[in-house]
Amino acid sequence: MQDAASPEPRPTPPHAALRSAARAWFEALRDRICAEFEAIEAESGSGARFVRTPWERDANPDGGAAGPGGGGGGVMSLMRGRVFEKVGVNVSTVSGEFSEAFRASIPGAGEDPRFWASGISLVAHMASPRVPAAHFNTRMLVTTRGWFGGGGDLTPMRLEAPEAVADAADFHAAYRAACDRHDPAYYPRFKEWCDRYFYLPHRGEPRGAGGIFFDHLDTGDAGRDFAFVRDVGEAFLAAYPAIVRRRYREPWTEAERAHQLVRRGRYVEFNLLYDRGTLFGLKTGGNVEAILMSMPPEARWP
């Protein structure tokens, strides 16, 4: 897709000038993450590779969330490996118009419904119950305003286990360092936001060990915010593969595997009952396979 073909919302926020750079960053990050995960598979003796499937977004003629005149699409990268039982990395860049029903709730869409969005989103479900599952995403949205959103969170299977506590500490430390380089208020605020967001109220349970979550980030300096978002990506890339590498060779028991499959059921419950991106995507005609790439390969409700 040519950026030149996208509708140009007016007034133009500074983010509009970053569209190509943001998209290029998300796609380059995808390449680096996929290469790293494939390297881990190779270290384990597996030859598993990501399979990339491009998809196009249909312009939605009946005025869903993204209405007429929309376009773009994405690439879903999926790997089924020995270490990564199922990992999906999706990048997408789409544009269109928000339907009337959505305009009121989207910053800057009241004046002009046109939008442009680009992002990367990742979910890793691991073969070993000793390796935590992970979720990561970052995105840039442009309407008559512009902002970034994203985050990452870790889901160890047994939150109280010493190895899970150590993994979570490292994961949080990486995000804290990335946040602190930009604003000392970020980490406590975005960590708390993550804890609040990734929570299953019907169970009274957190989804996992948390991480950070942020949305509508617009400090007034789009370049600075983009630099933060890049550091959030770097933090994930530095922290998560290291956790995977130190855990995946640990032996595990059938009981741990059975427990993992139950925990994955909770992951399904969260994503289908509460996750805004999942519900928004499914109910507005998004690409089903790309959205539900986040579902675990196997789950149990015994």
| Residues classed as catalytic | 135
Decide whether 27 or 58 has the Cβ nearer to a copy of itself. 58
Decide whether 86 or 176 has the Cβ nearer to a copy of itself. 86
Decide whether 123 or 164 has the Cβ nearer to a copy of itself. 123
Q: How far is the CB of 298 from a copy of itself (least distance, A)?
A: 5
Distance CA(286)–CA(181), nearest Å, equals 35
Q: How far is the CB of 133 from a copy of itself (least distance, A)?
A: 14
Site residues for a copy of itself per CB under 8 A? 80, 86, 201-203, 261, 265, 268-269, 272-273, 279, 282-283, 288, 292, 295-302
**Do 150 and 119 contact (CB within 8 A), yes or no?**
yes
Which residue in 118, 124, 137, 165 sits closest to 1, CA to CA?
118
Phi, psi dihedrals of residue 141, rounded to the nearest 5° = -115, 140
Q: How far is the CB of 302 from a copy of itself (least distance, A)?
A: 6
Report DSSP letters for 122-188, one per residue.
EEEE-SSTTSPEEEEEEEEEESSSEEEEEEEEEE-SSTTSHHHHHHHHHHHHHHHHHHHTT-TTHHH
Q: How far is the CB of 153 from a copy of itself (least distance, A)?
A: 20
Decide whether 21 or 262 has the Cβ nearer to a copy of itself. 262
Distance CA(261)–CA(264), nearest Å, equals 5
